Amino acid sequence: MLDTIGFLGEVGYGETQMGILFKTYPALLFEGSGKRIYILVGMLLKLGLKMNEIFYLFLQNSQILSVKCAKNLWQAVCFLFDIGMETGDIANIIATNVQLLSSCALQRPKTVMKNLKVEKGSLCQIIKEDPSKLFSLASKSVSKGIEQLSSQSQRNFLEKTTFLRRLGFVDNSDEMTKALKLFRGRGDQLQERFDCLVQAGLDCNVVANMIKQAPSVLNQTKDVLEKKIHCLRNCLDYPLESVAAFPSYLCYDIDRINLRFAMYVWLRERGAAKQTLSLSTILACSDARFVKYFVNIDPEGPAMWESLKK
C-alpha cells in the first residue's frame, strides 16, 4: 500500500487526486502490491500521455486497474506495437478507446494476419482507420468479424482508389500506393472532406494540388476543416487563397493556431511585427524559433506569451 501511495506521489499525484482515485477504485491499494499501477503508468507515460491525462483516464475508467482489464490493456498495446503502429497513434487509440481495449483478450498478431491473409502494414492501417476493428479481428471469437471485414475492406479499398483516380493518381503507381497508406477514412469520407474545401470557395484543381502537397489535410474531419476555414477568414482575417499556398495550415491543431496568431496580432498592434506575414512563417517554425522571433522580440513579450498560454 505504501509503495503504491509513494509511487503516485513521485509521479505527480496530489493528496486530493489520490483520495479521489482510491475512493473510486479501493482495490488498487490491495491487489498486486501496487505493481499494476507501476506497469500501467509507466506504459502510458512511454506512449506520450501526460500525468493529468493518465489521472483522468483512471478516474473515468477505474475498471482498467483490475487484474483482468490491466492484462487485456497491456496485451492490446503490445499487439499494436507488434504490427508497427506508431507511438502517437497508439496513445490516441488508448485515450479514446481504453474501455474497449481492456474489455477482452486478443489473439497474437501472427494468428490474425494469417487468418486475414494480410501484412502488418495493411492490418495497422485497418485498425488506425477504425480502432474497433481490433476486437472484431483479434478477439477469441473472430471468425464472423473476419468475414465482415474482408468484404468491407474490399469496398473501402475500391471507394478510396476511385476517389484517388479523380485526383489524378494512376493505378498501380508508387504515388497511388503511397496515397492509399496516407489517407485515412472511407472513400465517401474523403470525398466529403474534399467537397467541403470546394464549397468553401476553392477551385477543384487547387484543392487537388493542395491534397498532393499535404495529404494529411484529408485526414481532418469535415467539422474540423470547416472550423479552421472559419478561423482563417473571420478570426485571423486572412483570405481563403492563403491556405492554397500553405495547405498544411489545415493540419495544425486549432489551439496552436489561435495561440500563435494571438501573439502575432499583439506584436503587430505594438508595431513590433509586419502587418501581413504568411501562415507558414507563423505556424511552421519550431516552438523555440517562435519564442525567439515572436516573443522575445518585445520586452513585454514573455509575460504576454505566458498570459496567452494560460
DSSP 224-271: HHHHHHHIIIIIS---TTHHHH-GGGGGS-HHHHHHHHHHHHHHHHTT
Mean of the pLDDT values across residues 8-36?
A: 71
| Pairwise CA distance, residues 211 & 230, whole Å | 19
Residues constituting the chain: 310
Position 147, amino acid = E
Dihedral, CA of residue 38, residue 40, residue 41 and residue 43, to nearest 10: 110
Q: What is the DSSP letter of 172?
A: T
CA gap 214, 271 in Å, rounded: 33
Maximal C-alpha separation, the chain: 66
Q: What pLDDT digit, counting tens, does each position of 135-178 carry? A: 777 875 444 444 444 555 556 666 777 787 777 777 666 777 77
User: What pLDDT digit, counting tens, does each position of 252-280 carry?
Assistant: 988 999 999 999 999 988 888 888 889 99
Structure confidence at residue 145 (pLDDT): 43
Per-residue confidence at 282, pLDDT binned at 50, 70, 90?
Answer: very high
For residues 22 and 302, which has the higher predicted lDDT (pLDDT)?
Answer: 302
Per-residue pLDDT at 302 exceeds 90: yes
Higher-scoring residue by pLDDT: 33, 276: 276
Q: Please say if the pLDDT value at position 18 is more than 60.
A: yes
Amino acid at 41: V
DSSP 126-156: HHHH-TTHHHHHHBSS-HHHHHHHHHHHHHH
